Structure 1
Amino acid sequence: MKPLSWSAFGKYVSTAGPETVPDLHCVGDDVYISGKAVVSSIWVRQRKLGETGLHLGIVYDTNELVDTAYAAAIIAGGTDEGAPAAPTYFASGYYAANVADFDENRIEFLHKA
């Protein structure tokens, strides 16, 4: 990943938040890691026993767009896994909503102010 200016960045330890949030590990590009902008990053988590699917995070420019994407996903038949909110266990300015699709893929709509 180094030729692409990507490197390991951080870890979120699940004991800092609710039981539903697993340990997370991040790799990101130099701009993301510097904190100058929200651009390219990948957050990886270990699945729980018996869990399938993947977790995909989609970054939006505003909280209102997160709300709109979440509502559309629920109308399309997605399962609520966390209504739009600003969880205090992540970074300040973090706003997100989560749904699961028919194949148990988890989709997170988020805005980072």
Structure 2
Amino acid sequence: GQKQRIAIARALLTQPSILILDDSTSSVDVETETRIQDALEDMMRGRTSFVVAQRISTVLKADKIVVIDRGRIVAQGTHAELMRSSPIYREIYESQLGNGAQLTGPALIGQEAQG
């Protein structure tokens, strides 16, 4: 967890216009992940960010979420759109946040629009 936090801090110090975070909070507990996400939300504002994650909580606020299953894009949209239109996204959401279980299935990629 500490190595991931240091890597994120180093990346942010360079003030990149594009930020790519690949499972950057996978080795931290949920409470620490929430604190990191809150801090990153402000820091990612105004830059294009790609976030690759297994935990759906990491990408919930993304402008666009891409669901990849077995190497293929199977759905994309906002959280609300995917909850309505994608059974696999709904299943991931319910398995991870509905009853607290962790799922290690399809990858989720959240993309923040530059703004």
Q: Which has the higher helix share?
A: 2
The higher-RCO structure (CA 8 Å, 6+ apart) is 2
Rg larger for: 1
Q: Which has the higher strand share?
A: 1
* TM > 0.5 fold call: no
Q: What TM-score do you get using the length of structure 1 for normalisation?
A: 0.30
